[in-house]
Amino acid sequence: MHRYLLTILCLLAFASSAPAAPSPTAKREIQGLMDALSASSCEFQRNGTWHGREEARKHLQRKYDYLLKRDLADTAELFIERAASKSSISGRAYQVRCPGQPTQPAATWFRAKLAALRGSGAPVR
């Protein structure tokens, strides 16, 4: 009986520490952030080169897909931190520049879009 109980406790501990897949809400939020980038008139800088919004979205989608396979981005905050903030190769921060606004770190831009998305419940443009 003691061995059985120990086995059950070990399995429960392992299951509770296993990474979780993104919830439907997290998936919607991350999709909303990607949509906000695509719908914007902003440019996205990575490793010193500016890219258009669609090219930037494709790049971030590839990074997100990589993280999903490894259960490393189960919230919108983790997506921003691990995919949309900086280059995983060079470590350089991504930047976003939008017409009529100063250039800002991509993490700041995405966090603002996430806050707006959560505040309105509607797609962020």
What backbone torsions phi and psi does residue 45 show, to the nearest 5 degrees?
-105, 130
Residue 5 lies in a domain: no
Residue 125 lies in a domain: no
Coil, helix or strand at residue 93: strand
Write b or e for each residue in 9-28: b if 16 or more Cβ atoms lie within 10 A of its Cβ, otherwise e: eeeeeeeeeeeeebeeebee
Residue 47 lies in a domain: yes
pTM of the entire structure?
0.80
The count of structural domains within the chain is: 1
For residue range 42-61, what is the model confidence (pLDDT) as tens digits?
999 999 999 999 999 999 99
Are 53 and 37 a contacting pair, CB within 8 Å? yes
Residue 93 lies in a domain: yes
Residue 91 lies in a domain: yes
Does the structure show a pLDDT above 50 at 14? no
Residue 7 lies in a domain: no
Q: Which domain holds residue 105?
A: 21-118
Residue 96 lies in a domain: yes
Does the structure show a pLDDT above 90 at 39? yes
pLDDT top residue among 72 and 10:
72
Are 73 and 33 a contacting pair, CB within 8 Å? no
